Each structure stands twice: as structure tokens, then as C-alpha cells.
């Protein structure tokens, strides 16, 4: 099938994106020199603060309210596609506990040109759900939790021909077995692995400088072993710390409030979902105004693990 391109203007460049294949093509030259970025490429939407797990390291605020309804999310999708956004990425909490989430994905896919993707802890993942959303999402990111039988979840995703990647929180303990784990995940059909940086308060879960070096060496060995057969990327928050490794995004920094912006379950805009700066909105148009302000400032988060340079405004 020929790609059905949708375009996103950057400053002086044009990105063409086909949601069916996930292919991106970046064009730049005389014809694109006049272009200006006016919208983020994607909006990360926390659908809900509810979750069907209870992880000790969870960064979600306790008892935070949920404000989204099904119809409001459809309205957000329509508004975002008019604004020029290409993708919505849903998280939470756990998106699969949001009522009629499968229908939400289908309707966004069928009624807008947006590409909806989502991250799940996998606990509620089933063949029935995957069949219900078949062909109506860009990518499913499965977060690896060892107590949720991840190999069985990968088997399920592979058997259902799901478009999926793995999110892996790299703690010192996970790092010790990371390469062996990646081999196991690859054997079961995983072809896309995103390594994530912990940003919470538990010191024991942060990597030390020596761990950073071990992680770089592990990723380099994995890349040498698997080549193009496996895509392995690292968190945007590690940008400068793990220089030289393939990053999730290609911009000058993490690109929070530039290529992407976050919208919380209680309807606040944040530069990223870990950020303490949050501004409430009541109408969708206000999201654009808040985004523009954040884009000018490019604020650094105060969370330990934020990799944005200290030259950006923040209490760092
Ligand atoms: S799965 Fe994620 S959202 Fe749910 S409790 Fe664990 S860390 Fe929090
Ligand atoms: S602002 Fe900091 S925490 Fe947020 S995405 Fe950027 S590097 Fe990560």
C-alpha cells in the first residue's frame, strides 16, 4: 500500500509521516525554509490516574482526580489534528482501565487522521482486546513488569501480530540482567526496546556513574549483536548522560514542550509528564497558548533524573 503522508512543519523543515507504516521522512531545503513549527508532533495524554497495579516506585500523585470523559477525548483528538498534531500517545495510570478504551482508539483512528498509540502495564492485555483494536493504533508499548509474566505477554502480542515495543525501566538491578533479558525478549518476537530512566525519589533505583558506563557498554554490545534486526533506544531524559547512544528523538535536547507536550488526567498541561510545572485549562485552545509559553522557556524539571541542561529555567 502506498504511504498516506501527513505532514508536520518544523522550523525550516517538513516531516512526512505515514501512520499505517510508521515511516517518517524529513525534508529540508529552499522549499521548506519558510516553514515554522506551530504545534507539537505528539501530545501525551494521561487518560486516568487509576491503575490495576500498585508499584512501590509509582510517580503518580495519590488520589489525583480524573477529569476526562470518552467524548471529551474524541473532541481533543479532533481539535489536536486541526492544530497540526500527528499523534496522541496515551498513558496513565493504566489506559486499559479507562472505559471503552478500545472503542476510543477505533474512533480516533477512523474519524481523525491522528495516529493514537499507548503504553500499558500488560495486566489487562488480552487477545480479545488486541483484536478489537486491530489496525487502529500506531504502536503499543508494553512496560516490562516481572510480576506480570512479560514473556507470555510478548508471546500474545507476537501471536496477534500486534505493532508493539517494550518499555524497560533500567534500575541497577535490571541493568545486571539487561542483555540476557533483551535476548529472551528478542527470541519471543520483540523488535523494539526503549530503555527508560527512573525519575523518582528512591535513591536505590537511580543508576550510578559506573552503572551509566555499564549501560552504554550493554547497549553497544546489543547493537553490535542484533544490528538492524532490533531497535534499541534510550530515554530522552538521558540525552547528555548517555551521549553517543541512539536517542528516541533527534532534537537539540529532550524536546519536552517542543516536539511533544503532556496533558494530565486532571486536565493540566505540563512540558512532560514528570514535570512539576502544570497549568490548568478548560478549553482546548488554551492548550496551544500554554504550549507556546512552555516552548519559549523549555523549562527543566526538578525531578532527579531530568537531563535537561541547567541553562534552562528551573530550580536545579
Ligand atoms: S503500572 Fe505504572 S501507573 Fe500503575 S502503579 Fe505501576 S508505575 Fe504506577
Ligand atoms: S524536562 Fe527533564 S524530565 Fe522532562 S522529558 Fe525533559 S529531560 Fe525528561
**Residue-range domain boundaries for the chain:** 1-37, 39-297
Whether pLDDT at 17 is above 60: yes
Cα(144)–Cα(281) distance, rounded to whole angstroms? 33
Say which residues have a Cβ less than 8 Å from residue 29's Cβ, sequence separation at least 6.
none
For residue 270, give the ligand nearest its CA: 2
For residue 196, give the ligand nearest its CA: 2
| Residue 54 CA to ligand 1 centre (angstroms) | 6
Whether pLDDT at 252 is above 90: no
- Check pocket membership of 31 for ligand 1, CB cut-off 6 A: no
Mean pLDDT computed over 137-148: 96
pLDDT of residue 316: 46
> Starting at the edge strand that comes first in sequence, how are the strands of the sheet with 13-18 ordered?
6-10, 13-18, 23-28
Whether pLDDT at 313 is above 70: no
- Check pocket membership of 297 for ligand 1, CB cut-off 6 A: no
Cα(94)–Cα(121) distance, rounded to whole angstroms? 7
Whether pLDDT at 247 is above 90: no
Q: Which grid cell is 146?
A: 516481572
Which residue's CA lies nearest to atom 6 of ligand 1?
55
Lowest mean pLDDT among 99-113, 199-213, 296-310: 296-310
- Check pocket membership of 53 for ligand 1, CB cut-off 6 A: yes
Whether pLDDT at 88 is above 80: yes
- Check pocket membership of 272 for ligand 2, CB cut-off 6 A: yes
pLDDT tens figures, 31-63 = 999 999 999 999 999 999 999 999 988 888 767
Mean pLDDT computed over 109-137: 97
Q: Helix crossing, 101-111 with 70-83: angle to 10°?
A: 30
Mean pLDDT computed over 126-130: 98
- Check pocket membership of 237 for ligand 2, CB cut-off 6 A: yes
Lowest mean pLDDT among 10-24, 210-224, 237-251: 237-251
Cα(118)–Cα(112) distance, rounded to whole angstroms? 17
Exposed (0-12), middle (13-18) or buried (19+): which is 4, by Cβ within 10 Å? Answer: exposed
| Residue 225 CA to ligand 1 centre (angstroms) | 32
For residue 256, give the ligand nearest its CA: 2
Lowest mean pLDDT among 8-22, 162-176, 248-262: 248-262
Three-class secondary structure assignment of 88-155: EEEECCCHHHCCCHHHHHHHHHHHCCCEEEEEECCCCCCHHHHHHCCCCCCCEEEECCHHHCHHHHHH
Cα(301)–Cα(236) distance, rounded to whole angstroms? 13
User: pTM of the predicted model, to two decimals?
Assistant: 0.94
Q: 97 and 124 in contact (C-beta within 8 Å)?
A: yes
Tell me which of 44, 46, 47, 53 to substitute to probe ligand 1's pocket, judged by most ligand atoms within 8 Å of the beta carbon.
53
Atom of ligand 2 nearest to the CA of 257: 1
pLDDT of residue 152: 97
Give one DSSP letter per residue of 264-275, joined into a string.
-TTSEEESSTT-
Mean pLDDT computed over 294-298: 94
* Summary mean pLDDT of the chain: 93
Whole-number percent of the chain with pLDDT over 70: 95
Which residue's CA lies nearest to atom 3 of ligand 2?
306
For residue 273, give the ligand nearest its CA: 2
- Check pocket membership of 196 for ligand 2, CB cut-off 6 A: no
Cα(244)–Cα(251) distance, rounded to whole angstroms? 14
Q: Which residue has the higher pLDDT, 309 or 316?
A: 309
Mean pLDDT computed over 253-268: 95
Fold of 39-297: TIM Barrel (3.20.20)
- Check pocket membership of 299 for ligand 2, CB cut-off 6 A: no
Amino acid at each position: 500500500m502506498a504511504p498516506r503522508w501527513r505532514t508536520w512543519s518544523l522550523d525550516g523543515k517538513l516531516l512526512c509521516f505515514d501512520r499505517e507504516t510508521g515511516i517518517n521522512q524529513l525534508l529540508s531545503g529552499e522549499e521548506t525554509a519558510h516553514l515554522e513549527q506551530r504545534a507539537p508532533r505528539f501530545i501525551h495524554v494521561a487518560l486516568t490516574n487509576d491503575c490495576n497495579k500498585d508499584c512501590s516506585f509509582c510517580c503518580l500523585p495519590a488520589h489525583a482526580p480524573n477529569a476526562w470523559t470518552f467524548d471529551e477525548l474524541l473532541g481533543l483528538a479532533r481539535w489536536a489534528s486541526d492544530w497540526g498534531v500527528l499523534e496522541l500517545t496515551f498513558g496513565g495510570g493504566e489506559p486499559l482501565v479507562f472505559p471503552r478504551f478500545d472503542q476510543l482508539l477505533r474512533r480516533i483512528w477512523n474519524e481523525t487522521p491522528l495516529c493514537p498509540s499507548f503504553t500499558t502495564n500488560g495486566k489487562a492485555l488480552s487477545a480479545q482486546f488486541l483484536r478489537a483494536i486491530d489496525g487502529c493504533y500506531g504502536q503499543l508499548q508494553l512496560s516490562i513488569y516481572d510480576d506480570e509474566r512479560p514473556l507470555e505477554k510478548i508471546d500474545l502480542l507476537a501471536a496477534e501480530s500486534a505493532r508493539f515495543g517494550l518499555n524497560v525501566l533500567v534500575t541497577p538491578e535490571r541493568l545486571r540482567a539487561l542483555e540476557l533479558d533483551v535476548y529472551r525478549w528478542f527470541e519471543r518476537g520483540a523488535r523494539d526496546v526503549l530503555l527508560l530512566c527512573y525519575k523518582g525519589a528512591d535513591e536505590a533505583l537511580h543508576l550510578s556513574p559506573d552503572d551509566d558506563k555499564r549501560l552504554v557498554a550493554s547497549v553497544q554490545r546489543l547493537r553490535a549483536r542484533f544490528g538492524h534486526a532490533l531497535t534499541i533506544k534510550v530515554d530522552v531524559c538521558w540525552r547528555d548522560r548517555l551521549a553517543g547512544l541512539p536517542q528516541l528523538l533527534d532534537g537539540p535536547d529532550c524536546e519536552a514542550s517542543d516536539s511533544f507536550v503532556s496533558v494530565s488526567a486532571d486536565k493540566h498541561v505540563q512540558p512532560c509528564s514528570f514535570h512539576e510545572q502544570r497549568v490548568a485549562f478548560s478549553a482546548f485552545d488554551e492548550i496551544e497558548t500554554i504550549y507556546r509559553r512552555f516552548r519559549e522557556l523549555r523549562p527543566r524539571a526538578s525531578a532527579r533524573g531530568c537531563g535537561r541542561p541547567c541553562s534552562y529555567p528551573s530550580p536545579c
